[in-house]
Amino acid sequence: MSEKPIGVAVLGLGNVGTEVVRIIENSADDLAARIGAPLELRGVGVRKVAKGRGVSVDLLTDDIEALVSRDDVDIVIELMGPVEPARKAIMAALEKGKSVVTANKALMAQSTGELAQAAEKARVDLYFEAAVAGAIPVIRPLTQSLAGDVVLRVAGIVNGTTNYILSAMSETGADYADALAEAGVLGYAEADPTADVEGYDAAAKAAILASIAFHTRVTADDVYREGMTKVSAADFESAKALGCTIKLLAICERLTTGKGKQRVSARVYPALVPLDHPLASVNGAFNAVFVEAEAAGELMFYGRGAGGAPTASAVMGDVVMAARNRVQGGRGPRESKYAKLPIASIGAIETRYYVSMNVADKPGVLSSVAAEFGKREVSIAEVRQEGMEDESGQRSGARIVVVTHRATDEALSETVAALADHEAVQSINSVLRMEGTSK
């Protein structure tokens, strides 16, 4: 074993940071055996130095710049978030020749190129396994295990908060507001859940996955995003009748045009998923990522995607890799962006659709509604119609659910716009995509 220890600085002492420090201190002998040298904690960067934080006050400092610049620090573990001041701290560490491990998904989705270039220039490692799905190993399989394969599609449930809410709605029949309130009480949802329920968190992760899977730099701004706040209990009832459930999915896909040109699609939205698809059975706060590759076929990675201990597990996996590279004089995989594939617009994406609307209850309405789909060459696979009653028990219209065959998003959007202006359509209740079907 090398006698020279590997010095580590941790930035941030929240749930994940606290767990990382605990592992470093309590598993010192095991870590040293795996790395080939002792791993020593040099300091912990915090906003405010105070006693009673579970770490010796002598290790705490609010001078982040000085900590990451120390000569006895070899690896910087960034667990502060958000984008700033994390970006500044990571750039300073890389420029000083320190390897960096981060769990900062928002930063990696926004600044991967800048950080990767800095790491390349300094010839050090930049690892971020924990930025996508907590303890679930996804980044390393894509960058290493599947490095010799062609990844076709990556689709997954990558946000535990939204999956908990949608699972609760499916299981209990609760509406969105009640399920969100329950998630907040149980600690699954933040006081401000916007980043989760509007899909921003999942979009950042989709950008990272797409960049790695397709060797193309994809940012969060390239990801089409829809939240799940408008999903209703009625949508779940219809989904069950169709043999489906509803999940908020992050989808990254390699698309090939009729002329053989390839493009990349990265998108996040709530979608109907058939009950026999592996992602349909992922419930509660669990995450799962489903990968389809040319040679390997279908793979699924499943587990807890958030929380202090699971995320710390992924962080420490990266730390061990970075430390081994320091001991052995090697480096991990660099950013791969050689393909430089263009980003496909959402309008060009083909999938199936579920459209729910309220219409007047009179003869000829169904045929006139179907005609709007036909005008734009959107083929209808199935139609379900239910009568509606007002408070007095009188029929007040009908609810129609239309399920389409595959069509472009552009054609479907034009159809929905036309239906919204149709004299017989009282309201468009929901427009959801269907994923994981073979039709």
Phi, then psi, of 198 in degrees rounded to 5: -95, 5
Q: Output the pLDDT for position 31.
A: 97
Q: Output the pLDDT for position 395.
A: 65
In Å, how far are 105, 380, 416 from 404, measured between CA atoms? 35, 4, 12
DSSP-derived pairing of the beta strands 75-78 and 99-102: parallel
* Tens-digit pLDDT string for the chain (439 aa): 557 999 999 999 999 999 999 999 999 999 999 999 999 999 999 998 988 778 889 999 999 999 999 999 999 999 997 899 999 999 999 999 999 999 999 999 999 889 999 999 999 999 999 999 888 899 999 999 999 999 999 999 999 999 999 999 999 999 999 999 999 998 888 889 999 999 999 999 999 999 999 999 999 999 999 999 999 999 999 999 999 999 999 999 999 988 889 999 999 999 999 999 999 999 998 999 999 999 999 999 999 877 788 899 999 999 999 999 999 999 988 899 999 999 999 999 999 999 999 999 888 899 999 999 999 999 999 998 876 666 655 666 789 999 999 999 999 999 999 999 999 999 999 999 999 876 5
Amino acid at 260: G
Q: How far is CA 175 from the centre of its chain?
A: 24
Does 81 count as an annotated binding residue?
no
Count other C-beta atoms under 10 Å from residue 344's C-beta.
20
Counting Cα atoms < 13 Å in the Cβ hemisphere of 56 gives 6
Does 78 count as an annotated binding residue?
no
d(CA 131, CA 105): 5
SS3 244: strand
Name the architecture of domain 346-434: 2-Layer Sandwich (3.30)
* Domain ranges for the chain: 6-134+308-328, 139-304, 346-434
Does 13 count as an annotated binding residue?
yes
Give the residue ranges of DSSP H helices in 188-257: 194-197, 200-214, 233-241
d(CA 18, CA 12): 8
Inter-axis angle of helices 83-95 and 105-122, nearest 10: 10
Helices (H) and strands (E) in the chain, counts: 15, 17
Does 268 count as an annotated binding residue?
no
Q: Output the pLDDT for position 385.
A: 85
Does 12 count as an annotated binding residue?
yes
CATH 3.40.640.10 fits 6-134+308-328, yes or no: no
Does 18 count as an annotated binding residue?
yes
d(CA 85, CA 133): 23
Q: Output the pLDDT for position 307.
A: 79
Whether the CB-CB separation of 133 and 287 falls below 8 Å is answered with: yes
Furthest CA-CA distance within the chain: 86
Does 248 count as an annotated binding residue?
no
Does 297 count as an annotated binding residue?
no
What dihedral angle (degrees, nearest 10) is formed by the CA atoms of 277, 139, 132, 126? -170
Name the architecture of domain 139-304: 2-Layer Sandwich (3.30)
Instruction: Catalytic residue, from 205, 240, 261, 362: name it.
Output: 205
Q: Output the pLDDT for position 305.
A: 75
Check if 51 is active-site.
Answer: no
DSSP-derived pairing of the beta strands 262-274 and 244-256: antiparallel
What dihedral angle (degrees, nearest 10) is formed by the CA atoms of 15, 21, 26, 30? 110
